Amino acid sequence: MELSAFAAGVVLAETLERKLAPPPAVMTDRLPRPAVLPMAPGRPAELRIQPGRAVKRLPRLEGMRDPRQRGRILHALANHELQAVELYAWAILAYPLAPAAFRQDLLHILTEEQRHTRMYVSRLKDCGLAFGDQAVTGYFWAKVAGLQEHPLRFVCAMALTFENANLDHTLELEAAAQAAGDAATAAVIRRVRSDEVGHVAFGWRWLAAMREADQTMWQAYLHHVRWPLRPALARGRQFNRADRMAAGLDPAFIQLLEAEEPPRPRAQRRSPAAGQVGAGHDASGHVASGHGGSEHDASDLDASDHPGA
């Protein structure tokens, strides 16, 4: 089987079973370019992406104590992971000329995202829910336009923004599950965070390999991450320095990221000024005054967190 055919099947499949089916043990990569690059996923009817305004806002993390609210949170997390499965498959299709090692890394992470989805779906059952019982949004898919222009656009969006932030978000999620007495869910979240370290390391490694020679890592990240994504969305309120060091991020990058203002509650958000570069950064990559507000959708875990993959 061709790698591109497997990836296209994952993106376009209309059953969850097909999306989460493991790749064949042996695949070739001789025909990497798809006839058409899909810009939206296939989904079963119960998991079709809905506009954020049509999806009920999720409870704060304290809702983990109530099994019904915990189920709603876990449902959103399962959907975040399913989007990650689809988008890593999409990236295999989007970058046919990328190095073979890069494409194999995408496949490896795709399989880990499949496992994350299955783990969260399994935890839903204890909360009396099935995957698809709640409406879902497409927060990650909504950011895909333009990412096909360069592999580093995807790397900086997925690995170094969404998954980087999840190193922080999962600390809070795990603590909330433990406080609720749900050790099994806490263990799942802890496993997800462990895998995210490797996903961030993937992003860091390829940013280093593909950036312009005269760019620092921070400058290269700012060059390839595009509004509404920005450094502020690559961290949470609780900053997980240890796992970023484990992922290989250098101290200068970590320090600059930690200095970013975390996303603010909805009531405090405002839009960036016209002509603002990136998100509160000037063209040289230095932090500028007056950060813009954070963009979130109805799948937010609470008023100040964006969803992590």
What does the pLDDT look like over 222-264, one tens digit per residue?
999 999 999 999 999 999 999 999 999 999 999 999 999 987 6
Count Cα atoms within 13 angstroms, Cβ side, for 95.
Answer: 25
Token pair of 192 as six digits: 């997800």
β-pair partners for 49:
136
Q: Name the residue ranges covered by the structural domains of the chain.
A: 3-266
Compute how many other C-beta atoms are within 10 angstroms of the C-beta atom of residue 30: 8
Q: What is the pLDDT of residues 61-103, one digit of tens each?
A: 999 999 999 999 999 999 999 999 999 999 999 999 999 999 9
**Choice among 29-38, 176-185, 221-230 with the minimum mean pLDDT:** 29-38
> Among residues of the chain, what percentage have pLDDT more than 90?
78
pLDDT at position 302 = 38
Task: Say if residues 302 and 267 touch (Cβ distance below 8 Å).
Answer: no
Spatial distance between the Cα atoms of 114 and 195, rounded to a whole number of angstroms: 12
